[in-house]
Structure 1
Amino acid sequence: MAALSPRSGRRARAALALVAASLTAAGTITPGTAAAAQQNIARVDDNGIAGEVVHFAGEGDTAASTTLFNLRLDGDSAVGAYCVDISSEVDHEAAYIEAAWEDAPEEGGFLEYAAEVNWVLRHSYPSLGLDRLRTRAGIPSLDTEQAIAGTQAAIWHFSNGVSLPDPGGEGPAASLEPGERRGRANSAEVRALYSYLTETAESTSEPAPSLTVEPERVSGTGASPLGPLTVRTTSAEPVQVSVSGAESAVIVDGSGTPVSVVRAGQEFFLRLEDEVPAGAAKVYAQAAKAKVEAGRLFIGKDGVSTQPLVAAERGTVAATASATVTWDLASASPSVAASPSAEAATESEAGPSRPEAATTPGPEPSSSSPVVIANDKQPERDLPLTGTWVGAIIIAGVTLVTAGVAALVLARRRRRN
């Protein structure tokens, strides 16, 4: 039996549950503090908005379903998000964290055209409202499903090298009126939006993270204030700062005055009392209302394997970031600076540097290495639910229930006679 997509699997489980419940009713079956440390965890809701199925150039009918995912940043804030790797599945149970594009899983292979993907996200739906997008792209009949499909297809063009067929290569679809579609061809609106986005895209820089503390690691001697540290944030309000792991430590500004809040770009230090033993502490920054910009990448926390998602609109989130501060009184140097080992650790954690963005459209797919489409993006073909094995299970269950009820009625009549 062919493997089921997650979507089909959920329907199958629901169908089986319905049958089991029905048979039970008929009397034929008898039923038998680490969390606090996790900051800025995002998750993918199940209520994404489906777009049209897109069909790719090449032999056969290679197609994929499209979705504008609902990425929940926290309990009060969510943003629309697209996937950037057609070959990966979304794990709805996975914890996501905001990350730089250079921190994306290496197997994704989509860093080369990240700058073009960022342009698409900032110039298409939903970052631009549907009416504005219709005007800019010159597609007055564009609807929401088509906007999602055209945008996702353009992203995959740059991130995975897939392309939609040229209008002349779609056969009868080349002459379709707006809103029309024959067979498995892309709708005229999806094709037009895809062409507009891929042909107009420019190299666009990655948006700033919602909150960071720089550098991530600082070391020095306990005899002097340790730092400087700097908060970078999209929040317009001051950011709260605190320290954990050193009871006698105090956060101070450049003049040595204790502070509990700092503004973006302001330098601050960690001051220790005299004769404190060598050790380490965490410095935390918390922003109540930081902005997550369109183009920010979200990946599985701690290397969890799941589809990388990219924010498609601006959102607001309560964010937390931290830096590690270490000190050693045995050090002979009174200066305070990031140690070579700390710099090496930071570089190692950050991953390889991002290559220069290309200014040309993404590569065309190779016939020798066809694109691999993840199971959760495999489109459900034109078979209705009752035409699948899931439908057959439901029908069989209803038939058994009916038979069971009939048998009970017949048995009661015999006892009465």
Structure 2
Amino acid sequence: MFAAFSVQRRKRLAGRVAAAVLTSGLIAGGSIAGAAVAAAEEGPQHQGGASATLNGLTTYDRAVLHADGKDKELPAGLFEMAVDGGGTLKTYCIDIHNPTQQKAKYLETSWDQTSLGRNKDAGKIRWILQHSYPQVDDLAGLAKEAGAGALTKETAAAGTQVAIWRYSDGVNVEALDPAAEKLADWLQEKAQNLEEPKASLSLDPAAVSGPAGTKLGPITVRTNAERASVNAPDAAGVKVTDKDGKPVTEAADGTQLYVDVPAGTADGSATFSVQATTSVSVGRAFSSVSKSQTQILAGSSESTVSAQATATWAKKGAIPALSAKKNCAKGGVDITATNEGDESFSFELMGFKYSIGAGESKTVTIPVAEDQAYDFTIDLPGGEKKTFKGVLDCKTTSSTTPTGGQQPSSQPSPLSGGTTSAGTSGTGGTGDLAETGASGATPMIAGIAAAFVLVGGGAVFFLRKKKSATTGQ
């Protein structure tokens, strides 16, 4: 279809996006903004699960990266994160060319929203995690099975990280310690593809809508916890119930929740949360809300996990429910709008206007450059606004990677961890976490360039239109 576009048509489309970018504040401070008027401050979108803060590289030894005819020595091993609400995570890097940011915030993420989604060997990384340190803490037994001589925690962590990098980033990397290198080779050879682990906690969908006087939903709970607590909505008189209208305070995997809005309730919206304590499954991805290297889970204590859902209602007119999700396969962000009202709902974004009829759902894929921060704001009925923000990080090579045979970065990801003197290992210190990364100017230029390239090629938006599968009851 797009091939039939005329040159003039493409120029007009490019002009529309250029005008939107340059005159409506779509690029501001390195971020893409969906409207000139800011909405109330909202955090980055999270599909649910654990959220944590990176403490640093804590158990590591040395490795060498062979790239562009040069050798780069770097630390390799386990990172540690502190979970919001309590708990500790152990992670390895799956993003060797990108740096870490000091005390970066991370969110549990599905594979398809990271580089793992397009990696045919992603399941092998999970196998490695399950068959090596720290999941296997019998280091003597692990060394014997791998023919690796003697392993310490540091060399076992380094060998495991090296094996992971070979599959996550496709790089030529070796552990400096002979035992660690033998472990890495054994793990790489033995690895088998496993399925992606399930989320610790999520709600599907994360947004529902409908007329006041009905039960909005269902919203399905997905969790690996035995039970989760359901917190009351932040709106007077509105309750979370089962399909029969009985209030619900606890849920398990597969529980269906509804938001019961009494008749006569003034138009509005409410948010409720579900919370649990559980061990996050090994192999879950963690992406940063800033630009910090993507991580994969190697071990979890009992940790606090949570998810939120929003319900919107009105007496009449358009009643939209909006949600957003990164789409790495298409290089953008999917914004899904469902309208359970009796009138059409329209909104503008990036210079284009969309209309969702009564009872319909539509998904729009907004193109975003790799490593680009985005900030989309959509006007809702009644003067309210909905904001979606985050960073698109779908590739293992930074968009700021220099060309001409130079190193990927002055401080590639492993060098952002704590180090001692060259050739030594370390445990327990957070070290000197790098605060380097993409410059403020580069994402802005990349965002503008990507907009023109995508528009010029015609592949600007991907839309899916369907009748809503869920209605208020």
Out of 279, 295, 298, the position equivalent to 2:283 is 295
**Identical amino acids, percent of aligned pairs:** 27
2:126 counterpart of 1:118: yes
- CA change 1:114–1:147 in 2 (3 A) is same
The separation in 1 between residues aligned to 2:70 and 2:251, in whole angstroms, is 58
SS in 2 for 1:230: strand
Out of 208, 213, 223, the position equivalent to 2:198 is 208
Out of 95, 118, 122, the position equivalent to 2:105 is 95
Out of 377, 388, 393, the position equivalent to 2:414 is 377
2:87 counterpart of 1:77: yes
The separation in 2 between residues aligned to 1:50 and 1:194, in whole angstroms, is 14
Give the aligned residue type for 2:105.
A
- CA change 1:85–1:326 in 2 (3 A) is same
Which TM-score applies when normalising by structure 2?
0.57
For residue 259 of structure 1, what is the aligned residue in structure 2?
248
2:333 counterpart of 1:324: no
The separation in 2 between residues aligned to 1:201 and 1:274, in whole angstroms, is 57
The Cα of 1:135 is off from its aligned counterpart by: 4.0
The separation in 1 between residues aligned to 2:144 and 2:108, in whole angstroms, is 32
- Residue pair 1:52, 1:65 contacting (<8 A) in 2 also: yes
* Aligned pairs for 1:13-412 within 5 A: 40-46=50-56, 48-56=58-66, 59-74=69-84, 76-104=86-114, 111-129=119-137, 130-164=139-173, 186-244=176-234, 246-287=235-276, 289-301=277-289, 304-330=290-316, 339=338, 344=362, 372=408, 374-375=411-412, 377-378=414-415, 382=422
Q: Deviations over 1:186-241 (max 9, x none)?
A: 33212211111111212112211111111112122223211111211121134223
Q: Deviations over 1:267-301 (max 9, x none)?
A: 121111112233221121111x1221111122222
- Residue pair 2:203, 2:308 contacting (<8 A) in 1 also: yes
- Residue pair 1:241, 1:283 contacting (<8 A) in 2 also: yes
Which runs of no fewer than 5 residues in structure 1 stay unpaired?
Answer: 1-32, 166-184, 355-366, 385-417
Which TM-score applies when normalising by structure 1?
0.64
The separation in 2 between residues aligned to 1:99 and 1:383, in whole angstroms, is 34
SS in 1 for 2:162: helix
Give the aligned residue type for 2:280.
V
- Residue pair 1:299, 1:308 contacting (<8 A) in 2 also: yes
- Residue pair 2:214, 2:262 contacting (<8 A) in 1 also: no
The Cα of 1:157 is off from its aligned counterpart by: 0.8
The separation in 1 between residues aligned to 2:170 and 2:263, in whole angstroms, is 59
Which range moved further: 246-255 or 58-67?
58-67
Give the aligned residue type for 2:111.
W
Structure with max Cα Rg: 1
The Cα of 1:59 is off from its aligned counterpart by: 3.2
Give the aligned residue type for 2:177.
S
Which runs of no fewer than 5 residues in structure 2 stay unpaired?
Answer: 1-39, 320-336, 340-355, 367-387, 395-402, 425-473
Q: Give 1 or 2: higher helix fraction.
A: 1
The separation in 2 between residues aligned to 1:224 and 1:265, in whole angstroms, is 22
Q: Deviations over 1:149-180 (max 9, x none)?
A: 11111111112111246xxxxxxxxxxxxxxx
- Residue pair 1:110, 1:159 contacting (<8 A) in 2 also: no
Root mean square deviation of aligned Cα: 3.8
